[in-house]
Amino acid sequence: MQLPPVRQSRDPFSQEGLSLEEENKLFHLLCDSADDSILMLHPDGSIVYANRAISRCLKMPVDKIKGKSFEDFVCSKSKAEAQAVFAKMKKGPGQRCVEINVVDNRRGVKTVEVTAFPVVSQGKLVAVHVIARDITRRKQYERLVIEAEKEKALRFFTNGAAQELKHPLMGVHERLQKILKKYKTRDFEYIGFKEYQEIMQSLEYVKDEVKYCYDTTARMIELNARQAGVAGEVCQANLVVQNIVQPIKAQLASHGIKCSVRLGTGLPSIKIGEIDFTQIMHNLINNAVQSMPGGGTLKIRASCRGGTHVKIDVQDDGVGISKENLEHVYEPFFTTRARGKEKNSGLGLAIVYSLVKACCGDIEILSDLRKGTIVSLLIPVGEK
């Protein structure tokens, strides 16, 4: 029997052309050497090619993976998203990236980062090329980091709450102890004016401190409740701002504060409920007013940004915030206000930050000492 002629080996990367069979072998060699899973899907969704990496990921031999629908390996929670990406591949060119959960042969769930793009020949879809990277460990690590951050934030929040409530409660206790010690053993039918005045002052002090503790705990509860956000609600930014500013203009003028409001015409609705946005604006306006004890100008601006967001600026020319304090303004219980009648719980901007982030918005604060502060909000446009 005559043997076929021995063909001299050729460098596959030389300039000489490769046969279709050689190109196919080279393609398979490269794919099987890859760490990422590589698949080729028929337009009907069946798997016509799978490399060795997908076999390791799904814990199944390659020959048992071929011929099956890609949907057979997708977790039920990710199935709709995977189907939507595959449908977009059929409609036209373009790369799609998505994270989905898949189920291996031992019922283990893994998270994969999928990149898919169509293979088109003569204007017709002939296949969908898919590259999938197992990111299960990375997602687990990210979850651990998030949980650690949550635990750290919870410790910080709890410690801040304890410190914030400790001092007023201790003051109440000491003041009451003093009054009780002084008058408990007294035997009299009436008290003098000075004694009466001392008792009244102590009661006033107790009342103020207890109210402060109540307000602080109420806002803590409110802050916690707002962390999840309220989905699906929209409101008109201009209308909310007008409803807040109009009733307080005269009061601001009496304190030497001018109010300048410039609202863009035809602004779209924003993706946040009216109650939440009202609270945001109340907190920002109150902060601005408190920063101008000697009077000044409060400016409020609203405008559209790229058709996707509405920008709201609240500006004052008050005392400003130092650079070292600026990075802490969103922390619960952080405040630059002195204790006493002007003290506050330091939860105002923490609540504002929580509400803005809950609606996928953004907040930025620019400030200079003795020059003033600008708080800028970017709120996504609501559904039309």
Residue 3 placed within a domain: no
Question: Which residues have C-beta within 8 Å of that of residue 88, sequence separation ≥ 6?
Answer: 94, 96
What is the C-alpha separation between 281 and 326, in angstroms, rounded? 19
Residues 260/263/264/270 CA torsion (nearest 10 deg): 140
The gap from C-alpha 376 to its chain's centroid, in whole angstroms, comes to: 16
One domain, residues 356 and 251: yes
Residue 274 placed within a domain: yes
Residue 218 pLDDT exceeds 80:
no
Structural domain total, the chain: 3
Question: Domain residues for 154?
Answer: 136-226
One domain, residues 127 and 266: no
One domain, residues 237 and 355: yes
One domain, residues 48 and 153: no
Neighbours of 13 (CB within 10 A): 8
Mean per-residue pLDDT, 157-177: 75
Which of 70, 103, 134 is at the close of a domain?
134
Residue 35 placed within a domain: yes
Q: What is the CATH number of the domain that holds 243?
A: 3.30.565.10
Q: How buried is 279 (Cβ within 10 angstroms: 0-12 exposed, 13-18 middle, 19+ buried)?
A: middle
Q: How confident is the model at residue 229 (pLDDT cuts 50, 70, 90)?
A: very low
Q: How buried is 74 (Cβ within 10 angstroms: 0-12 exposed, 13-18 middle, 19+ buried)?
A: buried
What is the C-alpha separation between 350 and 220, in angstroms, rounded? 10
What is the C-alpha separation between 288 and 323, in angstroms, rounded? 17
What is the pLDDT, as a whole number, of residue 155? 66
Give residue-wise pLDDT tens across range 78-119.
888 888 888 888 887 778 888 899 998 888 899 999 999 898
One domain, residues 68 and 208: no
Mean per-residue pLDDT, 179-184: 80
Residue 343 pLDDT exceeds 60:
no
One domain, residues 384 and 246: yes
Please say whether the beta carbons of 199 and 371 come within 8 A: no
One domain, residues 58 and 205: no
How confident is the prediction for the chain on average, in pLDDT?
A: 81
- Amino acid identity at 55: S
Q: How buried is 337 (Cβ within 10 angstroms: 0-12 exposed, 13-18 middle, 19+ buried)?
A: middle
One domain, residues 203 and 276: no
Give residue-wise pLDDT tens across range 358-376.
788 899 999 988 889 999 9
Which of 226, 261, 277 is at the close of a domain?
226
Residue 379 pLDDT exceeds 90:
yes
Task: List the structure tokens of 301.
Answer: 């601006």
Residue 257 placed within a domain: yes
Residue 7 placed within a domain: no
Query: Does the predicted TM-score (pTM) go above 0.85?
Result: no
Positive or negative, the Cα torsion across 327, 348, 352, 317? Answer: negative
Residue 192 pLDDT exceeds 90:
no
Out of 4-18, 114-128, 276-290, 298-312, least confident range: 4-18
Which of 134, 156, 177 is at the close of a domain?
134
